[in-house]
């Protein structure tokens, strides 16, 4: 007889941590089905009930019929499926992938650390409502307006500044020079 499962082999707590919020209802439905199946299996006895063959021999008038059934019943074996996928090769492939998985996890952890540092830096800034132009200039000198060293005109974009030439005009001028 095959091995009887007495408890779930799935670590539901760890799996629960990995489920995204939008898939939570599907996960709970799957867990309920799995638990229901396990309860149904455990409700039955682990072994098949024993048959009282002598009782049936006394009740059945056809000679040899009960003996024939007994012989076939005891000779019947439920075939256990053979491993056609070669689990050993799958295990070897899994072991071969472990360094790759570890390297990916390490690089992802480094990315997480960089993002966490950036997030901490952003959280340490004053709120947008509380920040003054001087604070912004001190924090981001390259992005802030600098009327003394880099004066600009409203709306402070490239096209509105003195000395701006359209990019298309520059390209046309270069093409004209190369043709001559």
At which residue do the structure tokens 């941590």 appear?
17
24-73 pLDDT, tens digit each = 999 999 999 999 988 888 888 878 888 899 998 899 888 889 999 999 99
- Both tokens of 89, joined, read 């090769």
At which residue do the structure tokens 């009282």 appear?
52
Tell me: do 25 and 54 sit in the same domain. Answer: no
- Both tokens of 41, joined, read 């299996």
101-137 pLDDT, tens digit each = 999 999 999 999 999 999 999 899 888 899 888 888 8
Q: Determine the Cα–Cα distance for residues 113 and 171; give it in Å rounded to an integer.
A: 44
Tell me: do 38 and 5 sit in the same domain. Answer: yes
> Do the domain assignments include residue 74?
yes
- Both tokens of 12, joined, read 């539901």
Model's pTM, two decimal places?
Answer: 0.40
Return the minimum-mean-pLDDT range out of 14-18, 47-51, 66-70, 169-173: 169-173
> Do the domain assignments include residue 178?
no
Could you tell me if 133 and 145 are in contact, meaning their C-beta atoms sit under 8 angstroms apart?
yes
> Which run of H or E residues covers position 69?
helix 65-75
> Do the domain assignments include residue 87?
no
Q: What total of structural domains would you count in the chain?
A: 4
Could you tell me if 100 and 87 are in contact, meaning their C-beta atoms sit under 8 angstroms apart?
no
Tell me: do 148 and 120 sit in the same domain. Answer: no
> Do the domain assignments include residue 29?
yes
> Do the domain assignments include residue 36?
yes
Q: Determine the Cα–Cα distance for residues 179 and 114; give it in Å rounded to an integer.
A: 51
Structural domain span for residue 25 = 1-47
Tell me: do 105 and 66 sit in the same domain. Answer: no
Tell me: do 54 and 27 sit in the same domain. Answer: no
């Amino acid at each position: 007889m095959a091995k009887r499962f007495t408890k779930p082999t799935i670590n539901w707590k760890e799996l629960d941590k990995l489920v995204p919020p939008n898939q939570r209802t599907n996960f709970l439905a799957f867990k309920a089905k799995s638990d229901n199946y396990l309860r149904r299996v455990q409700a039955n006895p682990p072994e098949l009930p024993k048959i009282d063959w002598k009782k049936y021999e006394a009740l059945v008038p056809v000679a040899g019929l009960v003996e024939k059934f007994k012989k076939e019943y005891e000779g019947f074996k439920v075939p256990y499926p053979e491993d056609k996928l070669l689990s050993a090769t799958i295990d070897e492939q899994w072991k071969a992938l472990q360094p790759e998985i570890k390297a990916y996890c390490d690089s992802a952890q480094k990315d997480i650390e960089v993002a966490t540092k950036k997030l901490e830096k952003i959280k340490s800034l004053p709120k947008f409502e509380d920040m003054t132009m001087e604070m912004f200039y001190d924090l981001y000198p390259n992005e802030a307006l600098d009327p003394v060293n880099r004066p600009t005109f409203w709306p402070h974009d490239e096209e509105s500044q003195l000395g701006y030439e359209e990019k298309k005009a520059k390209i046309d001028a270069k093409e004209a020079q190369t043709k001559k």
